Structure formats: C-alpha cells, structure tokens
Chain A
C-alpha cells in the first residue's frame, strides 16, 4: 500500500514537472551514462537552464 502511494506521488511529481517542461533528470543522466558514456553530462543546474530555454524558445507550447 505504502509502495503504491509512493509510486503515485512520484508519478504526480514527474507529471507536474513535465507540465512546465522539465523531464526527469535521473532519466537523462541514466541515458547519458548508458548511451553516450564519452560525452559530458550536464549538471542539474545546466539541465534545468537548457530545458527552460527549450520550452520558451519560441515554440507554440500552450493552447487557448
């Protein structure tokens, strides 16, 4: 039961962060480690800034 609640909370947090354009940082780090071990991994701060620029950089991201 507690597990399920923790699971649900994690999903809610992830969804809320994704709503403002920031995907899961740990997923990004895992991806870089597994697929591009030779490349530099952005710190969370750099990752956050990169995502902010990407979200508001001029794409239509919102509806009426």
Chain B
C-alpha cells in the first residue's frame, strides 16, 4: 500500500472515531445505541495499536527480529515451542481473560457508563497493554523466566520475596471474591445450582473418557461435554418445577459457602485429569465462544444504553459499592484497563513459545486490547438494562429491602423509574424467583446477555435459557479458577513453608499437601464466609480489596519495567512506564488509605469496627450480628481487612523504594546494566518474521 493511502486511511479512522465520540458526547438525555461505543472503542484501539505500540516496539524497546528467543534456545517440543503468533495470541488471550473484565465494569456502571468507558480506553492504551507488552518483552529476553525471578535478578532478592508474598495474598482474595460471585448468583436459585452441580459429574465423565476411553481426544470430549451441559440447562428448568427436587437444590448463601469450601478442598487434591482438566476444557472453550457470541450480538443488535452517561453516584454515595470516583473507579475496574495479574501470564508460558521477539507487540499489546473490548461489552450489557432493574439487582438488601415494593420505592426515590411489576417481570422472564439484591455482577451480566442473545436467537421464550447459560458460563470458569488457584496456592505455600519446615516441601507427601491445601482453603474460605454474611453484600468489602491487591501487583510490574528501562539506558523513554506506574500507585495507595481510615463506616474498615464496638458497649445488636459474640466477630473481621489493606500498601511502598534505588544505581553507571540473556542470533532456519 502506498504511504499516502495508508496515511489517509488512518486519518479516516481518526475521523470516524472522533465522530462516534461526538455522537456519544452530544446525546442530550437521549439514549444511544451501543454501536457508537463499539465504533469509538475499535477506532481508539486501532490507532493506539498502530502508533503507540509501534512506537514502544521500535523506539523504546527496539525489538530485534534477529535475536534468539527462548522457544528456539530451549526448544523441547513441550514447554518451549516456537509458535505461530496468531496461534499464540489465542493462547495468551484465553489465559488473561477471566471473570475480572466481566465483573468490574458491571459494578462500575453505577456511576453511569461514561466513567467506566473512559477509564477502560485510557487505561488499556497507556497502562494495561503497555504493562503486558513490556513484561512479555522482559521475560522473553531473560529465557522466559517468571515475574518473581525477574524482580529478584533486576531489583534484588528481598524485593523478589516481597513480591511473591504479595502474590499469595492476591490469590486468596481473588479466590474469595470469585467464589463470592458464584454464591451470590446461585443462592436460592435451584435452576442455576442444579446446572452448576451437574458440571461435576459431566467433568468426571469427560475426565475418564479422555484418559481411558479415547485418550487425549480434546475436541471430541469437549463436544460431548458441551452437549451434556446444554442438556443440564434444559433439565434445570424441570428441576425447578418439581418441588421435591427444587427443595434439594434451593440453598442459602451460607450452605453454598460450605459446599464450595468442601469442593475446593476435594477438587484440588484429586488427580488433575479427573476433574480439573476436563472442566478447564469446557470453561475455556465456552468462554471464548460466548465472548465471540456476545460481540456479534452487541454489534448486530446494538442495544440501547438506558443507563445515563453519569449518575449522581459519582460522589461516592452509590448503593453497589461505596467510595467516590477517584480513586475507587480505578480499582473497581482492574482487568480490562490494567491488571497486575497479567504480568504473571506475560512471564509464564507465553514467553517460552514466542517465535520472534517482534511478535511480543501483537501478543502482549494486542491481546490486552482484546480483553479491554470484552470489558467494554460487559459495560454495554449492564448499561443496556433498565437502570431501575440494574439497581434492584445490585443494591444490598440492607438498603432496598427484600420485596419488590420496597426496592421499587427506594430506587424511584433515587430518580430511576422502576415499578414492582418491572422487577417481578424481569425475574419471571429469566426463570428466577427474585432478582432483588443479586449482587456480584454475574447475574446482572447474565440478564444483560440474555436480553442481547435472546434478541439474536430464540426471542423472549429463550430468555430464561440464555440467563442460565450465562450464569453457567461464569460459574464454570470461576470454579476452574477456584480449583486451579487453590492448587497453585498450595504449591506456593508448600514452597514458602518448606524454607522453615523441610518436610512441608514434599509435594508427593499426602500429609504435607493436605495441610497446605487446608490452610489455603481456610484462607479464602474465611474471606468468602465473611462476605456472604455481610449485610452490605460482601462485594462492597471484597471487591475493593481485590482491586487494591491486583493494582498493587500492576504497580510492582510497572516498577520492574521502569527499572529495566533505566538499566537499559533508555532514560528518555522511561515515561512510558513511569506515567502509568505513578497513576496506578496513586489510586491504589489512596484507595487503601481510605478503606482503612475513612470516617464513613461504609468505606473505612476502622470506622465500621468502631460503630460495632460502640454498639457492643451500649449493649445494642446491629445486623447481621445476632449476639454479642458475632458483633465482636464483625469487629475482628474489620481489623483483618484493615491490616490486609495496610499490608498491600506496605508491599507497594517498599517495592517503590527498591525501584527508586535500582533506578538511581542504574543512572550512576555509564553502561547498560540490565541482566538480559547474552545476545545470540536466531538460528538461520528459524521461521521468518510474520
């Protein structure tokens, strides 16, 4: 293509994007179609990819197409395999996309769709995609080593240990908040509970099939599993209608919590081929398929956004979660804008398979743009709901009560039109008894998806099917994460404890692994239980803690990137990571500080603890506590949460100090000091650059 045409093409892109933004910005109280958001988003992503990521690749990192990559250096056909960049893109995307980008934007929609959308766009272009890309680059140049190892070799042994320690706590909080989402979605819902429970025997059957009946047949077994899953959704409806069966599968939040904890314990000590691997096949393929389906639905149906661009809740008084736009929006939406967890993937399996260093741009930067698009779709699904219904689903019972009448009355007072009939009709449409206070994001996304998908296939009659399909899809990959996460946490812990008690290190010892698994499960189980009984819905406490933990890790990863840039003597380009690192740290530290010390008991843990302590002193009982003992438990939980937020602050601040020390040392030397693997040429027979 001639340069002139290419330039004109990009100019056209810019104009289209700007026009779409103009449409979004100029709508005066009228609702707009989602397609405008999609157009604006795609234009921003394309321009950012074409210009900013190219700038980083060429000028900042100077990716070298002739340089050896770990995939060739250690080629073993197993872990290290030179892989086509499009194939690897799919692998990397599937590894980074999970529940995070789907839930965060839905919770953020209480402030209107605009704040979430803007942060998703700006965040991904300047922070999230940059982090994923540069960490992938750093790891690729260092034999594909992990984040902890990279920090150890570039910043020092102690910061490496601190980062690993921090990662363990992120795992616990992540698992607790994911499990909480499942509990909130399945509580008192026999249809949903039945279909999710049915995935266990289905997965067991698949496991046996893929091991003994037709060994290694991934495609075949996944297809069988998929058909069985769809049948279980259909069967769920009948389970709900037969009172005896419905009673078995109608469980309270607390019952589900105990079941999940038991499940997590058993599943993570079973052999992987039996339950974890087959469930992983189902959840991975269902996830990718559903994301594609949702994208097609959003583009072709272009649902109207009924949520206003901004609501009055930007001031922090919102019912879904409390805290003002700054800093809480920026930790509520983590995945999709910038997510520290990705730095573990970018320094995990992907760098071991990258064929050419120059592919890092497409895979690292590109896959993150795609994840951001998933988050935008989740935001659209939430904003396409009637705002009154959205708030009925996402506000805790402590604020809107438990009946359709009380919910409609409270929400109407906030200025969102909703009648008890609308709330009950929505519940009926999706085949549930009630939709009130189904917090956690998953049910909201499911209703939004059901509206969009039933417009494409099946109409109103299929809405209940699509709703439970969406619930199943989320529960499935959340349970896979719980299962795999508990297992990973157990190995981390065995490693950590092994430094003090050598016998704990033996992963083949049944007692050692049972102890480590037990500690792990009780860790996340504790936070889960505390969230489930919280009258404010649990999400209000756990999601910010998770966001803070995740953004703390992003801060750590970006500090590593910045240190490496200085060590490579690329000082003049270091702003590329300094700017996002600074922003992420400001948001994380401010949010953590407010979560601990804010005077409003809905935000600050200590203020909440004081409220309960004073009530105990006066002999008054506050919900949910039913006895003085439970009151003291609430106070204790608040102190645990406050200490955890404080711990995250300490980890981040200490990493900042180590980062600054590294940068100052790098600036004091005249030659590059980055610890890259020594330069080697790619073998001559390596696949040519694509």
Q: How far is the CB of A34 from chain B (nearest CB, A)?
A: 10
| A61 x B95 contact (CB < 8 A) | yes
Return the CB mask of B2-33 against A: 1 if under 8 Å, else 0: 00000000000000000000000000000000
Residues of B within 8 A of A35 (CB): 75
Within 8 Å by CB of B272, from A12, A31, A53, lies: A53
Partner of A62, one of B76, B167, B481, B550: B481
Say yes or no: is B581 at the interface (Cβ < 8 Å to chain A).
no
Report, nearest first, the 6 A-B pairs whose CB atoms are least far apart: A58-B491, A28-B77, A15-B90, A64-B100, A48-B216, A31-B77
Q: Which of B248-256, B340-348, B402-410, B640-648 contacts A (4 or more CB under 8 A)?
A: B340-348
Q: Given A23-B78, A28-B78, do A52 and B273 touch, yes or no (CB 8 Å)?
A: yes
Q: Is B153 an interface residue (CB 8 A)?
A: no
Q: For residue B100, which residues in chain A have a CB less than 8 angstroms away from its CB?
A: 63-64
Q: Which residue of B lies closest to A24 (CB)?
A: B81
Q: Closest CB-CB distance, B99 to chain A, in whole Å?
A: 6
Instruction: Tell me if A15 and B95 are in contact (CB < 8 A).
Output: no
Say yes or no: A11 contacts B84, CB within 8 Å. yes
Q: Which residues of A contact B78 (CB under 8 A)?
A: 23, 28, 47, 50-51, 54
Q: A14-B87, A61-B345 are in contact. List 6 more A-B contacts (CB 8 A).
A: A16-B218, A22-B216, A32-B77, A44-B216, A58-B507, A63-B339
Interface residues on B, range: 35 or more
> Which secondary structure characterizes the binding site on chain B?
helix
Q: Is the CB of A56 within 8 A of B484?
A: yes
Within 8 A of B (CB), among A24-64: 24, 27-32, 35, 44-45, 47-64
How many Å from the CB of B259 to the closest CB on chain A?
Answer: 22
A–B Cβ pairs within 8 angstroms, 30 of them: A11-B84, A15-B89, A16-B218, A16-B285, A19-B284, A22-B218, A23-B78, A24-B81, A28-B77, A32-B77, A44-B216, A49-B273, A52-B272, A54-B78, A56-B277, A57-B272, A58-B491, A58-B507, A59-B348, A59-B488, A60-B171, A60-B488, A61-B345, A61-B484, A63-B96, A63-B339, A63-B342, A64-B100, A64-B178, A64-B339
Instruction: State the CA gap A22–B218 with chains docked (Å).
Output: 9
Please give, as numbers and ranges, the residues of chain B lying within 8 Å of A15 by CB-CB distance.
86-91
Answer yes or no: B438 CB below 8 A from chain A CBs: no
**How many angstroms from the CA of A51 to the CA of B219 in the assembled complex?**
16
B634 interfacial by beta-carbon distance below 8 Å = no
Majority SS at the chain A contact face: helix
Enumerate chain A residues within 8 angstroms of B89, measured Cβ to Cβ.
Answer: 15
Q: Out of A13, A47, A63, which one reaches B345, CB within 8 Å? A: A63
Interface size on A, residues (CB 8 A): 41
Q: How far is the CA of A29 from the CA of B76 in the complex (A)?
A: 10
Cα–Cα distance between A17 and B78 once the two chains are bound (Å)? 13
- When A23-B78, A50-B78, A63-B96 are in contact, do A18 and B83 touch as well, CB less than 8 Å? yes
With contacts A15-B91, A35-B75, A64-B174 known, is A56 near B272, CB below 8 A?
Answer: yes
Which residue from B76, B218, B334, B488 sits with its C-beta under 8 Å from A17?
B218
In the complex, how many angstroms separate the beta carbon of A25 from the nearest chain B beta carbon? 8
B79 within 8 A of A: yes
CA distance A51 to B273 in the complex (A): 11
Q: Is B498 an interface residue (CB 8 A)?
A: no
A61: which B residues are within 8 A, CB to CB?
A: 95, 345, 348-349, 484, 488
* Chain B nearest CB, measured from A23 CB (Å): 5
Q: Which residues of B contact A (CB under 8 A)?
A: 75-79, 81, 83-84, 86-91, 94-100, 167, 171, 174, 178, 211, 215-216, 218-219, 272-273, 276-277, 280-281, 284-285, 288, 334-335, 339, 341-342, 344-345, 348-349, 353, 480-481, 484-485, 487-488, 490-492, 507, 546, 550
Q: Are B488 and A58 in contact (CB under 8 A)?
A: yes
Asked whether, in the complex, the Cβ of B95 is within 8 Å of the Cβ of A62, the reply is: yes
B residues less than 8 Å from A51 (CB atoms):
78
Q: How far is the CB of B26 from chain A (nearest CB, A)?
A: 36
| CA distance in complex: A59, B171 (Å) | 12
CB pair A11 B284 closer than 8 Å? no
Q: Which of B88, B215, B216, B345 contacts A18 (CB 8 A)?
A: B88
| Complex contact A58–B90 (CB within 8 A) | no
Q: A31 near B341 (CB under 8 angstroms)? A: no
Q: Are B90 and A16 in contact (CB under 8 A)?
A: yes
Interface contact A20-B284, CB-CB below 8 Å:
yes
- Nearest residue (CB) in B for A51 is B78
Please determine whether B94 and A23 come into contact, CB atoms closer than 8 angstroms: no
Nearest A residue to B104, CB-CB: A64
> A59 to nearest B CB, angstroms?
7
A23 to B94 Cα, complex, angstroms: 14
Of the candidates B75, B86, B507, which one forms a contact with A11 in the assembled complex, judged by CB atoms under 8 Å apart?
B86
Cβ–Cβ contact B280 & A20, under 8 A: yes
> In angstroms, how far is the closest chain B Cβ from the Cβ of A17?
6
A14 touches B84 (CB 8 A): yes
How far apart are A55's CB and chain B's nearest CB, in angstroms?
A: 8
CA A21 – CA B132 in complex, angstroms? 20
Nearest A residue to B280, CB-CB: A20
Known: A15-B86, A59-B348. A54 touches B79 (CB 8 A): yes
